[in-house]
Structure 1
């Protein structure tokens, strides 16, 4: 059987999947149309139907991550909710995170609730007809396992969002009692999900599975994800599990054991990590290239991915990071979470800081500085390389006669070229003139074969002359850099923000851009071994079995790929990170840190901080920006668009007055957003579970709203 074995929209499957909920449509289907009678005749027709279930991984815009997201922020919507990233499109002098601002309300309707049940119905329709197709025993088992996998996935997304939910394992009709059922206990739902995934892992037919489709490793990866979530949720939310023994339901501890078991099996099947395949030379490039690679087929550790094909199925996740609509950045509190290149927290007693020399070398600082209170060049210097692949590093260049032409600013001993030297050049050098030109990404693919390269530009190749490019009011002033002061304004309406830490995770220089239409074809992973490794490390700690060999098998493999210092478990004591949440064990804190950093921008963090019952620690932080050594000099002729100094007063947590700034020595962090707690806001206990849509309560009289939302 020859197929395009990619997760691409399957036309026939989509048509049937979109209409199969309507029994009247099935009865009235025209001759020759794909309907319930013709879809399940052979293995081939049934498999084409099941292909439609893969569409749930496309999300409701481009890409879903672990749960549906929406909008131009791509995979990071839920990372904004967790507080580790920021959407700067919401204005100045307020609280940007809806959870921190307490603006989350009960929706009238919500696809997060209804859409999984649409997919569940599609799966149940396949299962209703599972005995009908002409198929071998292996093919029939494979079809059943696929349908049950997707059904389990959808029930998992419902359970992790709402807790108790209605479990549906049959094809419902208009008279089905389930349409008016009360919610099932999450203990029961979790047990059903667990048993379903165990059955799938034992019965899915790897010999039948085509490349880049669900196989036993993908099933185990989902089981690993689900088991860690529910096992830790029950521990940290003190879930009453008394009903488990009476009903023979799986317990939280047993789920953690299952997480460790299946995670190790996946890790043993995929022992190698991806180190990148481009000519880029920046450290740890494999981490970033996982998201900017044209073809993930055969890439080590990728278990399942969304395949994009030119002129057929494309996205614009990277394009959004090139244009004025981009609104995703990193706050200083998350920058401070990244370790140094040696693997130490920034306030560790043995941490080192470095100076950059005119000849491009790094030497240990004679006078140490604080990474949390230093200009952006110093803050990002010799940190975990995943940081500068997540946020665009600083530089300054001169724009030439054409908007796409530039020359580096080599003044002041080349201090502005530090990161231009670390990253590949995005420009094409004219040897006769010494001027480089950015190619126009709107014109085609592969003008240059680099992934992360500098300087940056927009979709038309117009050069961004300075990073950071902070929103200001006033004139562009090259004399700031000429005088040796850090510039914070790029004079361009694109790739700008408020913190100075602009996110460029999906930024691929080779990918084609278009002002109005999706044109990118870089593939996006859905399941990969890196997540499973982190699941294993965390589960082993929760089971009391995390030690140096486990660290070497998991976290240190990730750090080796990132080209940074390894974790030494014995060195992690109570004083290892003075910034740690003191209620969290120091080793567990480092395991969780690694997870947040490795999966940054993939939308896992909102589920993580909820299951750890630590959302308040992360969500309630004040979001402010980079540090300026001399604010007046850095602003130059431009002015802060806050209407004041634009600098945070660390004592009042408000914008510093002119007198405050003078007393602070003229230096400080960019101010834009209020401290949630000082504003009388912050995370509420009821946010740990999402409220049910009010329309659903009207349709089903036996549904009850979440207790804390009543």
Structure 2
């Protein structure tokens, strides 16, 4: 079944499901009873279609704006260190779990064994997904695997379970799903492969979270990630999408209207015909909606195409834009506007629009034809799970375990580099000469495998840019101080006329004082100190009034529980530092 139909069914399911976001004592599915439902495969399918509402919607790429990946005109509360304890809400909602557990208590009434196996796996996948999100946000949480009677005070006021207990239960659900779900290659429905991809993600997250906090027993989670990743790598139909066009393939994977099933395991569908859209074109091209941009430290981390390090040269922060982006990892020019950039379906070369990005590095990932620039009209399917993440998980988990080999790199990281015609990553070279620029970003990496771990982190940030991984990566690496480093943008020597496309024509003018009397059509004009701020090194400073930021190592990796939940359940304790 095509997921564009599931979107309709999800709306229908809202008439069957209680769509409120109340706590665990809400009544489940008042119109559905075990006696009149859970009989046919269609019943099971219809019910589980409602679980897809848990998946990220139109803001899937906005998750990176919480971090140092996407810089906007206003920093997030996470970046500013200004998060507050909410009175209610704050992500502490359990409605979906109630619906999932209700299904798992009743779906075996069906006589269709194949349907029970598959949709039982779907439900367990979503329970694992639900709890993984809670674990990432709050740490330890109470585990419930059954519906709760509203009068069951003991269940409603139980304390949190340990994070290892919760993670083990998540993996138990995923193992059941992997063993019983259909092995179907469907980009818009969860399958055995989606469950394997989530297991790969969960194992890596928990394994590194515990390792970098010196918690005993972390290895079993990294090993779970490796096992799931290996099964996907060796026994699934997925591979790294490539048509032999290194200057286009990475960009085309994300600006295709229809998700590319070669690599994408699960996606969120959008459709012009169904009037279901998101706002990525508007978000990245307009001057009135955040003005998102890539930060210079991330631009600096892209290697040259031959694999050499951009930051090994003394003047890397004072290179003009056209020289800065020359001969770099082709993913850079397929993620931001660089010389030669054209909109999809058009031939006019465009310079970065400094009015639409606070750093000067204008994002192009997911961006399609200008006809979709209106807010809410983008129709590119958005990726939720893809094979590239799996190979990155595999390489990182093995590196952290100390078992990574060159063959492992060739079957993972180097597949990503092959897509864009990059030189291969060498285990011996990376460990023999760790990159000091990357080491400054992640000082917590130990000497064992330090060089290759830093390279894998580089690769992960670049490959998965704007896919909502950065916050969770920083948390699991215990690398919060990374978010406090200075945020800068493009280099300009000072006032003057500038050519950002390399065609010999001026397209940006920076001035001080009076604006030039004669304005040339198509040229951007910005006043230094008003429209654009330059620091002492002539780098764009996006937030001159908020450049000193802090990260509290004792509290900022987790979110606070809402006050009302602590009042309702006296056995819950607030997360450390949020009391």
- TM-score calculated relative to the size of structure 2: 0.86
State which of 378, 392, 396 in structure 2 corresponds to 1:538: 396
Aligned to 1:646: 533
Contact 2:304 2:328 in 1 (8 A): yes
Aligned to 2:252: 289
Give the Å deviation of 1:504.
2.0
Aligned to 1:215: 191
Aligned to 1:601: 466
Cα 1:684–1:48 change in 2 (3 A) is same
State which of 279, 282, 304 in structure 2 corresponds to 1:340: 304
Aligned to 2:224: 258
Give the Å deviation of 1:680.
6.4
Give the Å deviation of 1:575.
4.2
Aligned to 1:99: 78
State which of 596, 607, 614 in structure 1 corresponds to 2:479: 614
5 Å-filtered alignment, 1:382-401, equals 382-393=327-338
Q: What is the count of residue pairs matched by the alignment?
A: 541
Give the Å deviation of 1:534.
0.2
Cα 1:202–1:5 change in 2 (3 A) is farther
Post-superposition CA distance 1:165-211 (Å, at most 9, x none):
0111101221233221111111111111111111111122337x866
CA distance in 2, matches of 1:552, 1:226: 23
CA distance in 2, matches of 1:126, 1:311: 33
Aligned to 1:635: 510
Aligned to 1:304: 266
Contact 1:6 1:211 in 2 (8 A): no
Aligned to 2:106: 129
Give the Å deviation of 1:388.
1.8
State which of 221, 224, 240 in structure 2 corresponds to 1:273: 240
Contact 2:137 2:558 in 1 (8 A): yes
Post-superposition CA distance 1:500-555 (Å, at most 9, x none):
1111212112x742635x33322122111100000000011111111211111111
CA distance in 2, matches of 1:3, 1:649: 55
Aligned to 2:120: 144
State which of 343, 349, 355 in structure 2 corresponds to 1:455: 349
Cα 1:43–1:558 change in 2 (3 A) is same
Contact 1:311 1:519 in 2 (8 A): no
5+ residue gaps, structure 1:
65-74, 91-95, 242-250, 352-368, 394-418, 427-447, 457-466, 472-495, 651-667
Contact 2:79 2:549 in 1 (8 A): no
Contact 1:231 1:253 in 2 (8 A): yes
Aligned to 1:413: none
Give the Å deviation of 1:587.
1.5
5+ residue gaps, structure 2:
498-508, 517-524
5 Å-filtered alignment, 1:33-72, equals 38-59=36-57, 62-64=58-60
Give the Å deviation of 1:111.
4.7
Aligned to 2:287: 324
CA distance in 1, matches of 2:231, 2:495: 54
Q: In structure 1, the residue corresponding to 2:255 is in which secondary structure?
A: coil
CA distance in 1, matches of 2:29, 2:173: 29
Cα 1:63–1:275 change in 2 (3 A) is farther
1:513 aligns to 2:492 (yes or no): no
Give the Å deviation of 1:47.
0.8
1:109 aligns to 2:88 (yes or no): yes
Post-superposition CA distance 1:254-287 (Å, at most 9, x none):
111111111011112245311269xxx7x44222
Give the Å deviation of 1:690.
1.1
Aligned to 2:506: none
Q: In structure 2, the residue corresponding to 1:87 is in which secondary structure?
A: coil
1:527 aligns to 2:385 (yes or no): yes
Give the Å deviation of 1:594.
0.5
Aligned to 1:468: 352
- Alpha-carbon RMSD across the aligned residues, in angstroms, is 2.7
Cα 1:37–1:238 change in 2 (3 A) is same
5 Å-filtered alignment, 1:180-195, equals 180-195=157-172
CA distance in 1, matches of 2:62, 2:247: 21
Cα 1:514–1:497 change in 2 (3 A) is closer
Higher mean Cα deviation, 4-13 or 149-158? 4-13
Give the Å deviation of 1:35.
6.2
Give the Å deviation of 1:707.
2.2
Post-superposition CA distance 1:598-627 (Å, at most 9, x none):
0011110110011111121x2011112211
Cα 1:170–1:319 change in 2 (3 A) is same
Aligned to 1:691: 560
Give the Å deviation of 1:26.
5.4
1:13 aligns to 2:18 (yes or no): no
Aligned to 2:571: 702
Give the Å deviation of 1:639.
5.1
State which of 497, 502, 515 in structure 1 corresponds to 2:357: 497
5 Å-filtered alignment, 1:435-454, equals 449=345, 454=348
Cα 1:271–1:143 change in 2 (3 A) is closer
Post-superposition CA distance 1:429-488 (Å, at most 9, x none):
xxxxxxxxxxxxxxxxxxx746xx6535xxxxxxxxxx33334xxxxxxxxxxxxxxxxx
Give the Å deviation of 1:147.
0.6
Cα 1:9–1:449 change in 2 (3 A) is same
Q: In structure 1, the residue corresponding to 2:39 is in which secondary structure?
A: coil
Q: In structure 2, the residue corresponding to 1:274 is in which secondary structure?
A: coil
CA distance in 1, matches of 2:13, 2:326: 50
Post-superposition CA distance 1:329-363 (Å, at most 9, x none):
11111111111111222133xx7xxxxxxxxxxxx
CA distance in 1, matches of 2:345, 2:491: 34
CA distance in 2, matches of 1:162, 1:623: 28
CA distance in 2, matches of 1:587, 1:206: 33
Post-superposition CA distance 1:565-592 (Å, at most 9, x none):
2212222246442313254312110011
CA distance in 1, matches of 2:97, 2:530: 52
Aligned to 1:237: 213
